[in-house]
Structure formats: C-alpha cells, structure tokens
Amino acid sequence: EAQVTQNPRYLITVTGKKLTVTCSQNMNHEYMSWYRQDPGLGLRQIYYSMNVEVTDKGDVPEGYKVSRKEKRNFPLILESPSPNQTSLYFCASSLRHSSYEQYFGPGTRLTVT
C-alpha cells in the first residue's frame, strides 16, 4: 500500500531533550516536506527536500533540523525542544515537487513540557 509513515505518533518529552521524528514513504517520491499544525494557523512548512541531499527552509525552520540521506526517509530533528514546539507535525511527499498532490502521513502529536 502506498503510504507515508511517521513515528512516533505521540510523544511527550521535556525541554532540551533531543528527539527525532521519522518519516518514510514507499512511493519513490522525490519531494518531501515537514509541516506543523497549530490551532487557527493552518499548516506551516518547516523544511522541504527536492531530492536526496537537497533540503531547504520553509516558513518556520527555527529549532528544527532535517536530513535526506535516502530518497524514502526524511527525519525531523529537534536538537533542544522547547514548549513552543508543542504541536501536531505532518510529513508529506509528492512525486516531484510541490505542484503535485501531496501525500500526508498520519501525524505526530508532540508535547514538550
């Protein structure tokens, strides 16, 4: 089944404790991206990647890192999480770039205390 998977789905952590949210797609998509969703603000893009080893900042990249060593994986790293990063995070992928339909993962609900 074609899908985007994210792990973990739920995470409660403390300020400053490094964490990684994994994202994987099995559709051979070139384009992958991370969004955060907060009430009343819609989805805001954190980082995106046009292909392996090519990443770029979205609208809200501060406090996040990404890497794209393999085509299928695009992990999101929070080196020192803070409470304002409490949010619902989505990974998405598409065939080539953002002009194609986006396939979204199920989401990761992160709480930073």
Partner 1 sequence: SQQGEEDPQALSIQEGENATMNCSYKTSINNLQWYRQNSGRGLVHLILIRSNEREKHSGRLRVTLDTSKKSSSLLITASRAADTASYFCATLSNDYKLSFGAGTTVTVRA
Chain residues that interact with partner 1, rule: CB under 8 A: 4, 35, 40-45, 59, 88, 90, 92, 97-99, 101-107, 109
Please say which residue, 40 or 69, places its beta carbon nearer to partner 1: 40
73 vs 63: CA distance, rounded Å = 20
Please say which residue, 99 or 113, places its beta carbon nearer to partner 1: 99
- The region, left, alpha or beta by phi > 0 then psi within -120 to 50, assigned to residue 36 is beta
Nearest-5° Cα angle at 97, 92 to 99:
95
CB of 57 to partner 1, least distance (A): 11
CB of 100 to partner 1, least distance (A): 8
Q: Which residue has the tokens 């985007």?
A: 4
